[in-house]
Amino acid sequence: MPVFDFSGASESKKITECTYEVFYSDNPQPTPEQPIMVLDNSKRQWKHHSCGIFLNPTKRTAFEFKEEDETIQADILKIDARFISLLRWLGENHITVRLSGANLERGYAVYKIREIAFGGGTKLSAEDGFLQFMIERLLASNAPEEEIEEDDKEEIGDDMKLTSIQSITDFMTCAGRTMPDNIRLWARRNLAVARSHEVSQEERRHAQRALSIMMNIQWKNNYFEAIDPKEARRILDEELYGMERVKQRIIETIIQINRTHTLPAYGLLLIGPAGTGKSQIAYAVARILKLPWTTLDMSSINDPEQLTGSSRIYANAKPGIIMDAFSMAGTSNLVFIINELDKANSGKGNGNPADVLLTLLDNLGFTDNYMECMIPTVGVYPIATANEKDQISAPLMSRFAVIEIPDYTTEEKKVIFSRFALPKVLKRMSLREEECVVTEEALDAVIDRYRNTSGIRDLEQAAEHIAANTLYQIEVDHVPQVVFDKEMVNALLD
């Protein structure tokens, strides 16, 4: 919202004049070339680090520099639209800050704002670092599409002294526009409950806890930057051997994201025997998408309430696992890895956990019973794993692009053991590859021993056993090298 300059008007009739120009930016890292704001330096060049306060913006849009011998005011010429509310708040609360900037032809370009205690002045009501938290949140947000009118001011006279409540209030004032409209409205209502003395202490406690959880999450839009397909392929080759069909399907997904800049409508469902690397694929996709990930183990969930949370009418109420995942990730864009989806139908509580997943997978929004608010899920990419396709209900199957992963062949297991599993363990134990040599006959013996087991977990355990034995012989028997033949491997693994 524009702030006006009344300094040149008489008390009887003040003529308003906007002193700055608003510009719109999505830049996440301010620099002198792309600053937060620009101050007038036509009369004086300002220091690189300068302290002072923003004047009450209802009177004048300026910054008052506190020099050694005097205080000098400089008008604000330009400001990033994301920081207008923050500037107003800093001015109204007389917060002393230190600016970092550079004197350019167009003015003093400010690219950092830090709070300081100046001359015994008070710090923010919230914890130290709160201003930086707000600035980082604003920088991570998108530029507002249009100027939004200021909301009604908070009522004066609140006697709540809890720092967390005050910090939430301050955040709502300065950075409320970074949240979706429905969550911002929800936050106002819960803030009113948390500050009210007309409700029970239990209700205030629940409202405060819910607010703390919601404020911890950075609510992003569903726009995704382009991803380098070559880098994605490199990550897949680094994490997985073979599985060309799986890799091709993931690269196709990356190309789709690059074209639409949104996530696909369907997540991935990886079906295959245990130990075939399904979870490894999911982690690789999260790494490619550069998103935090969280896991839901459906085998340990037997009641829908574990996912949806419990109502606040109960004293021991708490959010569900899905809401906890958003809170832990700190962002609304993340990868949900749903392990053992085929176990989701075996609920033993008051309902079926699988039914809860349908709302999460539809990308229409998820409602947690404790939060009592619809959580946007457009930035959630679900990747599920399962062993038995027949155990998954048709509605769940229809929400995924299904990829069936076959077991590894004998030759693939050889390559995985010799090129991936064993070198990885040797590196972890600080052993050189020449210190542990597995002959071709020994390798055949290892593969033959586990030919009837699915996956490669047994091979990884065998590699661990061989490497540990090598380390023992080198450290205890002081041998320079251990060469494993067929007999040694069979004796060791028996």
> For the residues 355-366, what does the mean pLDDT come to?
81
Domain that holds residue 440: 410-493
> For the residues 344-357, what does the mean pLDDT come to?
68
Domain shared by 254 and 396, yes or no? yes
In the predicted model, is pLDDT for residue 392 greater than 50? yes
Distance CA 414, CA 19 (A): 72
Domain shared by 206 and 258, yes or no? no
Is residue 170 in some structural domain?
A: yes
Is residue 244 in some structural domain?
A: yes
Domain shared by 176 and 238, yes or no? no
User: What sign does the dihedral 275-279-281-284 (CA atoms) show?
Assistant: negative
Is residue 354 in some structural domain?
A: yes
Computed on alpha carbons and rounded to an integer, the radius of gyration of the chain in Å comes to: 30
Share of the chain residues as helix, strand and coil, in percent rounded to the nearest 5: 40, 20, 40
Is residue 67 in some structural domain?
A: yes
Domain shared by 396 and 340, yes or no? yes
At 290, list the tokens: 């550069």
Cβ-based burial of 419 (10 A; exposed 0-12, middle 13-18, buried ≥19): exposed
Q: Which amino acid is at 194?
A: A
Distance CA 188, CA 215 (A): 12
pLDDT for 71 equals 84
In the predicted model, is pLDDT for residue 281 greater than 50? yes
Is residue 149 in some structural domain?
A: no
Is residue 154 in some structural domain?
A: no
Q: Which amino acid is at 75?
A: D
Domain shared by 244 and 393, yes or no? yes
- The 10s digit of each residue's pLDDT in 38-89 is 999 988 899 999 888 888 655 567 888 887 778 888 889 999 988 988 888 8
Quick count: other Cβ atoms within 10 Å of Cβ 302?
15
Distance CA 5, CA 276 (A): 68
Domain shared by 203 and 315, yes or no? no
DSSP string, 207-249: HHHHHHHHHTSB---S------HHHHHHHHHHH-SS-HHHHHH
Domain termination site, one of 404, 426, 457: 404
pTM to 2 decimals? 0.68
Domain shared by 267 and 343, yes or no? yes
In contact, 292 and 286? CB cutoff 8 Å = yes
pLDDT for 152 equals 42
- The 10s digit of each residue's pLDDT in 90-129 is 888 778 888 999 999 999 999 999 887 644 444 554 445 7
Domain shared by 385 and 467, yes or no? no
pLDDT for 57 equals 59
> For the residues 27-32, what does the mean pLDDT come to?
90
pLDDT for 149 equals 47
Domain shared by 238 and 333, yes or no? yes
Cβ-based burial of 331 (10 A; exposed 0-12, middle 13-18, buried ≥19): middle
As a residue count, the chain comes to 494
User: What sign does the dihedral 206-211-212-214 (CA atoms) show?
Assistant: positive
> For the residues 190-219, what does the mean pLDDT come to?
88
Domain termination site, one of 404, 436, 460: 404
- CATH number of the domain that 265 lies in? 3.40.50.300
Domain termination site, one of 215, 250, 277: 215
- Residue 482 backbone phi and psi in degrees, to 5: -120, 125
In the predicted model, is pLDDT for residue 13 greater than 60? no
Low-confidence winner among 94-98, 190-194, 316-320 (lowest mean pLDDT): 94-98
Distance CA 74, CA 416 (A): 67
- CATH number of the domain that 466 lies in? 1.10.8.60
Domain shared by 373 and 257, yes or no? yes
Distance CA 272, CA 278 (A): 8
Domain shared by 332 and 422, yes or no? no
- The 10s digit of each residue's pLDDT in 150-183 is 444 443 333 322 236 888 888 888 888 888 889 9
The residue with tokens 């032809």 is 105
DSSP letter (8 states) at residue 18: B
pLDDT for 288 equals 92
Number of domains in the chain: 4
Is residue 186 in some structural domain?
A: yes
Q: Which amino acid is at 464?
A: E
> For the residues 309-327, what does the mean pLDDT come to?
89
Q: Which residues contact 44 (CB under 8 A, 6 or more apart)?
A: 72, 74
In contact, 479 and 473? CB cutoff 8 Å = yes
In the predicted model, is pLDDT for residue 214 greater than 50? yes
Q: Which residue has the higher pLDDT, 363 or 252?
A: 252
Q: Which amino acid is at 173?
A: T
In contact, 115 and 133? CB cutoff 8 Å = no
Low-confidence winner among 1-10, 22-31, 418-427, 430-439 (lowest mean pLDDT): 1-10
Q: Give the chain's mean pLDDT.
A: 82
In the predicted model, is pLDDT for residue 33 greater than 70? yes
Domain shared by 199 and 245, yes or no? no
Is residue 456 in some structural domain?
A: yes
Distance CA 146, CA 309 (A): 36
